[in-house]
Structure 1
Amino acid sequence: MSIPCPVTGCGRPTRGATICGACAADLARALASVPWLDRQLDLVLARQTRIGSRGPRPAETPLPYAPHATEAREVLRSTLAAWVDELLPVLPRRDPGPVCADCAHPSCRYRAPGRTLPGMAWWFQARVDHLVRHPEAEELRDEIMAAVWAAQRVVDRPADRRYVGQCGADLDGSDCEADLYARPNAATVTCPACDTRWDVRWRRERLLAAAEDTLATAADLARALTGLGHEVTPEMIRGYAHRGQLVPHGRDARGRPLYRLGDVADAVAAAAARRAERSA
């Protein structure tokens, strides 16, 4: 007699495997989406969608771009990596053959994957027929699906909204931790969790003040400040530095100068004031 699938809400016959064919197909589709999700998370991280956090921060940490995207990627990566480590010793192995990014060589499927998201996803896809018979297939499926769904929610967030911080409204002694996203020209934003209305300009100023000691490259700072309502380009920042209006504070691993966000914001404001005086 076939055992019902143990996946929550399923119950279909497993037909000799640990989980049923439908749940295995869901896992395969989720794994197939990982390379696309990896590229989309890159796009989310490239857009300055969130800046600043609560509490003290080191002055020389990179701008905390889209920590929701950073966290989703890390959860997905660590989940896949943990299961690779768990399964490598027990899955069938053969002598390695040609190394290909994506091919039909039978031996390639037995190689240990690299730790990139696409590499690990492909490794799992090549083993779905083994995975569904593993004693912990239900747990593996649940954890990988949850990590993929979390990344998908980040990618599906409307791109035309900018992060303006956590709500922070007092809810009977505890702070509302809902994330707030406002349209670029919005004057106010309403919390989706507690319906508190906030002034967008005030919230952006608060984020700017919280991150003023952050050091980053001209490109990263331009994205950050543009996300906070200041139209800035990397070329403008480099121009301020060339004219002595900005002083770099060290360099990153690639040798690019790092500037303090607060100094760049001051230079932008000073330039705007000079333009206003000339046009008066």
Structure 2
Amino acid sequence: MHLGLIGYGTIAADLLRVLAAEGAAPAALDVLARAGRVDAARARLGGGQIHVDAADLIAARPDLVVEAATHEAVAGPVCACLRAGLPVLIVSIGALANPEVEASVREAAIAGGTQAFLCNGAVGGIDMLGAARLSGLARVTYTSRKPPGAWKGTRAEDMLDLAALTEPTTFYTGTARDAAAQYPKNANVAATVALAGAGFDATDVQMIADPGVTANIHEVSVRSGAVNFDLRLEGLPAPDNPKTSLSTIYSLARAVLNRAAPLAI
């Protein structure tokens, strides 16, 4: 596969590592980096063509573009790639909590005759949630429970003395839309659950800082006309970024492998 990457941080570097371990290293690699960060991108990724303009990435015509950057990238180069007919796998799903961004992504994909694929990331059961939605959803809730340190650099740090917590503390209760807007680096799972299920405004979210856990725990509860289920996943934090579940990287790798596999599941 000729792979395109938007972003070159922990997720992108680990994605390439997993693909190589599976014997599926890209035959060609084109990476979109910010101006002035070309050398850093090349050092971290160990090769590939590095571009600072989305037009150059598009001109390379990769088979698949993976966005592993920021919410801002979804409204910018992701839409440009889609409009040019390139399929894009989006990691920063929380960006779609902004209805204007979601509309732009849909319109760009239609204009380009292609698709934007949303990576499940750290959460599972999205296939069954999507099926349950067709039967009618009565209730969907998502709870994010992480060690206090994983919430550093977010609004939680302004509300709580994270280092001094001795018991689980809920610091956010609201909708998936507000969660994704207020905690953009932590709420991609909330956005994924919302898009697959009841929507951003009808999906209830709780965020908890819990000194008693060492993993990033994701809990999804669904009640519908066809199936009821409760799901709990304990994702180990990525060593280089505790805000990211390690499972996100493997989920992304699975999605990329499926795009090239003769038999995909």
TM-score by length of 2: 0.23
Higher helix share: 1
TM-score by length of 1: 0.22
Greater radius of gyration (CA)? 1
Higher strand share: 2
